[in-house]
Amino acid sequence: MYKLIAIDVDDTLLNDELEVTPHTRAALKSALEHGVTVTLATGRMFASARQVAEGLQLNVPIITYQGSLVKTLLDGKVLYERTVPSDAAAELNQYCLDNGLHLQLYVDDKLYVREDNDKVRDYARNSKIPFIVAPDFDSLLSQPLLKMLIIDEPERLDALIPELQPLIGDRVHMTKSKAHYLEFMHKEGTKGHALRFIAEHIGCTMEETIAMGDGWNDREMLMAAGLGVAMGNAQAPLKEIADYITLSNNEDGVAHVVEKFILTEQTVQ
């Protein structure tokens, strides 16, 4: 019997209209009533993910910043936190300056940018969080950074990875959450590390966990879980490592998994 479900938010829990459908809401409510712990596992900031979690009436710790931060909803207690090494942060910032790249910093659950532009405006609108243009942007690099993010065209980001890997790859976890988002966290700031932490925190084994996602940033989580589920709309490489492929985010793929592996199984028992 599965005791813990960790669900990615964008393109997994949310459909393309950025909504949780009534069907999925009902399935998750039933899972909670059956005693299953349901949590979110997202690259979003805590402030953004919290809006989604509270809409589902979750009251457990949630995984944010790709796994760099696990924090409780009720009292805001930090249970797990990993920050980008300061030397790697400084090198990445300089690289972005040298190459004219848009870089975002996340400090104390706030989003900072060097300048106001369309990239951060679109990001803030989708995440439903404000951003701060910091005149002292470089000074923020000495603060604890939960995540750093470059936004650009997918092809350009793909070309950056082999350049950045030898530069800072030994000190950071680098992943793409969306085609145009390249993200940098602590080596232990992954959804897989955070899922293991929450499983131990609530007292269940990894075999009793389900993880659902659509992007390559969900890879560590799917590999760690007892049942790793890729959405029907997931990237092909993620589907290849998944234990199960469900319906897409526009077809209530999350609800399908809950009904098949949680509600049906418990009914049979």
158 and 233 within one domain: no
105 and 59 within one domain: no
> What is the domain-level CATH number for residue 264?
3.40.50.1000
Predicted local confidence at residue 238, as pLDDT? 97
Q: Please work out, in degrees rounded to the nearest 5, the angle formed at the alpha carbon of residue 49 by the alpha carbons of 186 and 227.
A: 70
Predicted local confidence at residue 265, as pLDDT? 64
158 and 109 within one domain: yes
pLDDT digits (tens, 9 = 90+) for 121-132: 999 998 889 999
Distance of CA 162 to the CA centre of its chain: 23
Predicted local confidence at residue 268, as pLDDT? 44
Which of 161, 186, 211 is where one domain is finished?
186
Domain residues for the domain of 157 are 86-186
| Residues near 119 by beta carbon (within 8 Å), at least 6 away in sequence | 102, 151, 152
- Please provide the average confidence, as pLDDT, over all residues in the chain: 95
107 and 90 within one domain: yes
Taking residues 63-84, what's their average pLDDT?
95
157 and 92 within one domain: yes
Strand partners for 102: 151
Predicted local confidence at residue 126, as pLDDT? 87
260 and 205 within one domain: yes
175 and 92 within one domain: yes
Alpha-carbon distance of 40 to 31, in angstroms, equals 14
111 and 34 within one domain: no
DSSP string, the chain: ---EEEE-IIIIIS-TTS---HHHHHHHHHHHHTT-EEEEB-SS-HHHHHHHHHHTT--S-EEEGGGTEEE-TTT--EEEE----HHHHHHHHHHHHHHT-EEEEEETTEEEESS--HHHHHHHHHHT---EE-TTGGGGGGS-EEEEEEE--HHHHHHHHHHHHHHHTTTEEEEEEETTEEEEEETT-SHHHHHHHHHHHHT--GGGEEEEESSGGGHHHHHHSSEEEE-TTS-HHHHHH-SEE---TTTTHHHHHHIIIIIHHHHH-
Predicted local confidence at residue 266, as pLDDT? 57
38 and 52 within one domain: yes
204 and 73 within one domain: yes
Residue 59 has pLDDT above 90, yes or no: no
> What is the domain-level CATH number for residue 179?
3.30.1240.10
67 and 8 within one domain: yes
Residue 74 has pLDDT above 90, yes or no: no
Which of 153, 168, 186 is where one domain is finished?
186
91 and 162 within one domain: yes
Which of 171, 186, 201 is where one domain is finished?
186
Predicted local confidence at residue 264, as pLDDT? 86
Closest C-alpha among 54, 55, 6 to residue 31: 6
**Share above pLDDT 70 across residues of the chain, in percent, rounded to a whole number:** 98
Query: Which single residue is written with the structure tokens 């404000």?
Result: 130
Counting the structural domains of the chain, the total is 2
Predicted local confidence at residue 191, as pLDDT? 98
pLDDT digits (tens, 9 = 90+) for 192-232: 999 999 999 999 999 999 999 999 999 999 999 999 999 99
